[in-house]
Amino acid sequence: MGFPVQRMRRLRVNESIRSMVRETELSLKGIIYPLFVVYGSDKRVPIPSMPGIYQFSLDRLAEELEEVKALNIPAVLLFGIPEHKDALGSSAYQADGVIQNSIKLIKDKYPDITVITDVCLCEYTDHGHCGVVERDGYVNNDATLELLAQEALSHAEAGCDMVAPSDMMDGRIGFIRKSLDDNGFNNLPIMAYSAKYCSSFYGPFRDAADSAPQFGDRKTYQMDPSNINEALREVALDIEEGADIVMVKPALPYLDVIRAVKEKFAYPTAAYNVSGEYSMIKAAALQGWLDEDRVMVESLISIKRAGAEMIITYFAKDLARLLRSR
Ligand code: PBG
């Protein structure tokens, strides 16, 4: 039974009918806004490659949170840029580090905003890698686990609502889970960057977070963009080790991975709409080549349609403003 009995255009005839059969809805539910907190005071530093995104010092972070609150954005993901970097990233796990202090400030003044923290060492190490570097440049897996667990625990102790390990060391979810549980944080969820690819779409982020590797690349720990079976194995391991939410990153070039993860595991799934995905749209819009709002909405819808219920996106404020104006 096909044409002329079937006419697909019948249900496209006007907005009212189109909206009745709409399968995917964009809302602020599950939208997570990344924030960069930098050491020092009186800073609101624009990131040139990410128009609209800034690094804030702690004393000016509230300016941004007022907007986040007014726009009803439910959650933020925190990244820290410390004053002091060293080989072991020791500023990452200080009780009064930039992130630990940010958590306290946000939970004190804005208790309703969910605070998720990125757990990684690359912003804190002088070599810019996500773990402990051996003499030959290789990142030592097991030595890194201890430091990541300390970092996650310090975030928990400061009062965060969720930790999100992004380092891609083997075994880190189990290691962090155990350390949280041993210290009374058995109710603190872990959002695992499970399928994190070694992507060139992170370029602008590394300016924002001052975290570019000083030598080599991240190919020995982040995933090869060619692989999807491997992504499923990564997700399976993270779930086994105690991940509550699994993540695919980046989002748009990996929609197939999001779909496969959702279908196979039926777990709460997040996708990271990364810096390069944001910058491409902003850059084209600035040239007048694309309609920014429409392209943003279409991109975010595609990520949801693929199967992610949470989206980490630099567009969070833009989306909130757009939804409000509709
Ligand atoms: C830290 C981390 C990175 C991103 C999130 N956490 C950078 C990297 O792995 O190099 C990238 C986010 C983005 O591009 O927006 N490891």
What average pLDDT score do residues 65-87 get? 97
Whole-model pTM?
A: 0.97
Query: pLDDT class for 164, splitting at 50, 70, 90?
Result: very high
For the CA of 212, the nearest atom of ligand 1: 10
| Residues annotated as catalytic (active site), given as ranges | 196, 249
Evaluate: CB of 120 within 6 angstroms of ligand 1.
yes
What average pLDDT score do residues 90-95 get? 96
Evaluate: CB of 315 within 6 angstroms of ligand 1.
no
Q: Is the peptide bond before 4 cis (omega within 30 degrees of 0)?
A: yes
pLDDT digits (tens, 9 = 90+) for 233-274: 999 999 999 999 999 999 999 999 999 999 999 999 999 999
Evaluate: CB of 275 within 6 angstroms of ligand 1.
yes
Cβ contact 133:87 at 8 Å: yes
What average pLDDT score do residues 69-82 get? 98
Any idea where the domains of the chain sit in the sequence?
26-325
User: Which fold is adopted by the domain 26-325?
Assistant: TIM Barrel (3.20.20)
Query: pLDDT class for 307, splitting at 50, 70, 90?
Result: very high
Q: Is the pLDDT of residue 207 over 90?
A: no
Q: How many helices (H) and strands (E) does the chain have?
A: 11, 12
For the CA of 203, the nearest atom of ligand 1: 14
Q: How far is the CA of 205 from the centre of ligand 1 (A)?
A: 6
- Residue 238 burial (CB < 10 Å; 0-12/13-18/19+)? buried
Q: How far is the CA of 1 from the centre of ligand 1 (A)?
A: 50
What's the pLDDT score for residue 111? 98
Residues of the chain with pLDDT > 70, as a percent, come to 100
pLDDT digits (tens, 9 = 90+) for 42-66: 999 999 999 999 999 999 999 999 9
Q: How far is the CA of 179 from the centre of ligand 1 (A)?
A: 24
